[in-house]
Amino acid sequence: MNSVELKKKLIKLSQEPLEKLGSSELKKIYRQIQSIFDSLERMTIIQKVEELSNSIPLENKPFYLELLKKFPHKKPSSNAKKEVWEKYYLQLNNYLDECKRKKNELNKLLNNIQKINEDLALKQIQKLKDEDKKLLSLLASLTERNSKGVSSLFLGKSKEGNLAWLRELKNVKHLGVLYTEEL
């Protein structure tokens, strides 16, 4: 059985003499069909929500996931009403727009930091709030090799740590593996 088969059966059913059924039987079938319509509508909006969550660019996933921790609305349960899901969709959409604005703002800063000299860049980094330092680190997704393997680099309070992050940021541009010209 699949959806094609089911559709064929439903078309066939619509051509059958349903008037032969009693009113209670008709009501029962009507309610069942109505429940299928409701379920399909709900699935459509759930799909939209899931697509929205999955439309986050993979390259910025850690950044968005961090911001989404602060998203105040809880995901509805799968059997919640269509209207609840619709409301959640709008809330999520607006929040992701805000995240995007924040991303663009921090991306500008990241590009700027990459271009200016170390001292100036360190001063700019120092001015940032702790939260923005974390977000900027997530946006850059920098890693370093250590004795255990690879660990993520984060901006913090120590000057040495921030310098290591900054040097790696400048280094990323020159991986020399894929780029054939200056980006």
Partner 1 sequence: MSACVICVLNFKGGVGKTTLSVNFAAALANSPSPQGRNYRVLLIDADPQSNASVYMLGEYWRREIFLKPEKSLYGIMTRILQGNTQPINESDILGQFSDEAPRSPVFSTEKKITEEGRGIYVESDAYWPNLHIIPSHYNLNNFEKEIHYNEVGKVKIPAFSTPVYYFELLDRVSGFLKEYYDFIIIDCPPNIYTMTEIVLYFSQNILIPVIPDWLSTNGINWLLMQVRTLSEKFQHREKLIRAIVPTLWNTREHVFSRHIRILNKSLSVWKRNEMYREILSKAEIWVGLQRLASVNKCIESIRPIVDYEISETARVQLEMMTKKIITWKEE
Go through the chain and tell me how many residues it has: 183
Q: Which is nearer to partner 1, 3 or 32 (CB)?
A: 3
In the complex, least distance from residue 163 CB atom to partner 1, rounded to whole angstroms: 20
Residue 63: CB minimum distance to partner 1, A? 8
At which residue do the structure tokens 């992701």 appear?
Answer: 96
Question: Closest CB to partner 1 among 46 and 125?
Answer: 46
Q: Quick one: CA torsion of 163, 168, 174, 175, rounded to 10 degrees?
A: 160
Backbone torsions φ then ψ of 127, nearest 5 degrees: -70, -20
Q: What CA–CA distance (Å, rounded) separates 20 from 26? A: 9
Q: What whole-number distance in Å separates Cα of residue 94 and Cα of residue 107?
A: 20
Q: How far apart are CA 133 and CA 143, in angstroms?
A: 15
Task: Quote the least distance from Cβ 170 to partner 1, whole Å.
Answer: 15
Cβ-based nearer residue to partner 1, 65 or 120: 65
Contact 76, 84 (CB under 8 A): yes
- CB-wise, 20 or 170, nearer to partner 1? 170
Smallest gap from Cβ 96 to partner 1, in A, equals 15
Contact residues for partner 1, defined by CB under 8 A: 1-5, 43, 46-47, 50-51, 53-55, 57-62, 65, 78, 138, 141-143, 150, 152, 172, 175, 177-181, 183
